[in-house]
A and B are shown apart, each in its own frame.
Chain A
């Protein structure tokens, strides 16, 4: 061991120099980097702002214009062309909620079933399975009016021949959003790590037991979120419903199989909006607010479900 020697002048000088240099390096970022950084962040912020501004404008417009008509009568009263002060959306709201219920009943087993087949059973080296996959992605992008024509030709008339009833509308909407549910469910199923399946199969579980007891329970939050988002889309669709019977001005509560006609929120809003008189424009705006509230409630439900049950791997 050498004895301690105090640092010489030269050493002190060298250390001080090195320190000063470090401070210089840490303190100076190239000017170009600073500008690029801020410009890019600014552009991203602008994109968010424009998206939000559109939504805010729509909401503000609807609330301001519909303000005179906002009240409990919106959900308790049927529409009217005579007493517009007390008119509401009761049959349309009931129609929409009923359709949502039927849509859920239809898309959950079909969508999840198809997703399970494609993820767990289909051998995706086979061309037909890849073809199915491609077509499902294409179907998700088909304009909704096409589904309206399909519904008219195959469900209202044609093979099913149900007539212009609420159930026909629900089936049409279910077909429309089915691809979305399949795609979302596949994502959720794929997010379950393969090691879970291996662990289960290594215990002597069959493929079905593994899917039923391990994969599906772990995928439920994702599936539920996908279903709710799909239903949110269905509830806002007008075009296909116009073709399958929801065009009438309904003043009574609809029934699933009633042949007297049915309505849905967006269709009712459309009805009001096509009339030139001031009071109907107000009703249309109030209807938009009502629909946004329903949509917001459903999407909040989706977010709550996802946060509550999300599995961290």
Chain B
């Protein structure tokens, strides 16, 4: 382990101003989790505690299973018939994969924002109202819609055209609409699978600001390819890597290091993490 740290990719002042994790309450406790697609492993030996009302980033090279891991957290992997999840995944102490757990109910509490903005081919209003309607939320729908759009910081841009088709919005607006749609059902956790990879830097900045605001009320887990983004927004960071068997027949993802973001980016304890965050590999 080197004592001196080489040039870190991101200067300290550009790294945002996150204090050490505010909350120590655990929202997810993951123990020895592994996921297989058919008989091919995707991730193995995952163990980490995700803290409540924090932003947790998953970083690592392509194919390291970041998306697979985040999709375990709201049971979206159930939609892939060949996927099999082993190990323990507790959500506020309850086993998320327990026999009495309904994945539909899980997804009402744990929302998700996808890589490519995927608004429904409907009006802006109906995009937001869809979730609350199927969940059967009480209250005035106009207020629910306005509230969600306001919290997603997009209300001022769309308030005059709520009945326009959402496909007419820019990519960045569509993605914030998707975040608003997710917030509208009042989840507990928001999962974001590379939410900015299809967006320009200005739209990305807006979404990052939004995430920082949203963590007051929600736990956020974000998968990102962009290390600067992880450094800017997250409180905790997990670095995953691709492991291979000797004959290279099988490959799967494992966690190398999981710690406070500050530490991962300035003083990582594993050489592989340091090589990755300083841009020597990857």
Q: Assess whether A199 is in contact with B81, with CB atoms less than 8 Å apart.
A: no
Tell me whether A123 and B120 are in contact in the complex, defined as CB-CB below 8 angstroms, given that A201-B76, A203-B107 are known contacts.
no
Q: A36 in the interface, Cβ–Cβ < 8 Å?
A: no
Give the nearest-CB partner of A213 in chain B. B130
Cα A23 to Cα B112 in complex, Å, equals: 57
Q: A311 in the interface, Cβ–Cβ < 8 Å?
A: yes
Q: Assess whether A199 is in contact with B118, with CB atoms less than 8 Å apart.
A: yes
Q: A312 in the interface, Cβ–Cβ < 8 Å?
A: yes
Within the complex, what minimum Cβ distance (angstroms) separates B176 from chain A?
14
Q: Would you list which residues of chain B between 114 and 134 have a CB under 8 Å from chain A?
A: 114, 116, 118-122, 130-131, 134
Q: A198 in the interface, Cβ–Cβ < 8 Å?
A: yes
Residue interface bits A111-137, CB-to-B below 8 A is 1, else 0: 000000000000101000000000000
Q: Assess whether A196 is in contact with B104, with CB atoms less than 8 Å apart.
A: no
> Which of B81, B105, B108, B122 is the one whose CB lies under 8 Å from A203?
B108
> Which secondary structure dominates where chain B touches chain A?
helix
Give the nearest-CB partner of A124 in chain B. B81
**Which residues of the other chain, A, contact B207 by a CB distance below 8 angstroms?**
none
Question: Which of B42-50, B178-186, B254-262, B267-275 has 4 or more CB atoms under 8 Å from chain A?
Answer: B178-186
Within the complex, what minimum Cβ distance (angstroms) separates A174 from chain B?
30
> Which of B108, B121, B167 is the one whose CB lies under 8 Å from A204?
B108
Q: A205 in the interface, Cβ–Cβ < 8 Å?
A: yes
Q: Would you list which residues of chain B between 197 and 233 have a CB under 8 Å from chain A?
A: none
Residue interface bits B64-92, CB-to-A below 8 A is 1, else 0: 00000000001010010100000000000
Cα A205 to Cα B120 in complex, Å, equals: 13
Q: Assess whether A200 is in contact with B130, with CB atoms less than 8 Å apart.
A: yes
Cα A205 to Cα B167 in complex, Å, equals: 21
Cα A281 to Cα B134 in complex, Å, equals: 62
Q: A11 in the interface, Cβ–Cβ < 8 Å?
A: no
Tell me whether A199 and B79 are in contact in the complex, defined as CB-CB below 8 angstroms, given that A204-B131, A205-B134 are known contacts.
no
Give the nearest-CB partner of B132 in chain A. A203
Tell me whether A213 and B134 are in contact in the complex, defined as CB-CB below 8 angstroms, given that A202-B107, A203-B181, A204-B108 are known contacts.
yes
Q: B195 in the interface, Cβ–Cβ < 8 Å?
A: no
Q: Assess whether A195 is in contact with B118, with CB atoms less than 8 Å apart.
A: yes
| Interface residues contributed by chain A, number (CB under 8 Å) | 21
**Which residues of the other chain, A, contact B182 by a CB distance below 8 angstroms?**
202-203
Q: B111 in the interface, Cβ–Cβ < 8 Å?
A: yes
| 14 A-B residue pairs with CB within 8 Å | A195-B114, A198-B76, A198-B118, A202-B74, A202-B112, A203-B131, A203-B135, A203-B181, A204-B105, A204-B107, A204-B131, A205-B104, A217-B121, A312-B167
> Which of A125, A201, A217 is the one whose CB lies under 8 Å from B107?
A201
Cα A296 to Cα B134 in complex, Å, equals: 42
Tell me whether A196 and B118 are in contact in the complex, defined as CB-CB below 8 angstroms, given that A202-B76, A203-B131, A204-B185 are known contacts.
yes
Q: A80 in the interface, Cβ–Cβ < 8 Å?
A: no
**Which residues of the other chain, B, contact A312 by a CB distance below 8 angstroms?**
167
Q: Would you list which residues of chain A between 186 and 204 have a CB under 8 Å from chain B?
A: 193, 195-196, 198-204
Cα A214 to Cα B120 in complex, Å, equals: 7
Q: A206 in the interface, Cβ–Cβ < 8 Å?
A: yes
Q: Assess whether B121 is in contact with A218, with CB atoms less than 8 Å apart.
A: yes
Cα A196 to Cα B118 in complex, Å, equals: 6
Cα A189 to Cα B220 in complex, Å, equals: 33
Give 14 new A-B contacts, CB below 8 A, not counting A195-B118, A199-B181, A203-B107.
Answer: A195-B114, A196-B118, A199-B114, A199-B120, A200-B120, A201-B107, A203-B182, A203-B185, A204-B107, A204-B108, A205-B104, A213-B134, A218-B121, A311-B121
Q: Assess whether A203 is in contact with B130, with CB atoms less than 8 Å apart.
A: yes
Cα A199 to Cα B130 in complex, Å, equals: 11
Q: A209 in the interface, Cβ–Cβ < 8 Å?
A: yes
**Which residues of the other chain, B, contact A193 by a CB distance below 8 angstroms?**
118
**Which residues of the other chain, A, contact B167 by a CB distance below 8 angstroms?**
312
Cα A311 to Cα B105 in complex, Å, equals: 31
Q: Assess whether B134 is in contact with A203, with CB atoms less than 8 Å apart.
A: yes
**Which residues of the other chain, A, contact B118 by a CB distance below 8 angstroms?**
193, 195-196, 198-199
Give the nearest-CB partner of A311 in chain B. B121
Q: Assess whether A198 is in contact with B114, with CB atoms less than 8 Å apart.
A: yes
Within the complex, what minimum Cβ distance (angstroms) separates A220 from chain B?
11
**Which residues of the other chain, A, contact B108 by a CB distance below 8 angstroms?**
203-204
Q: Assess whether A123 is in contact with B76, with CB atoms less than 8 Å apart.
A: no
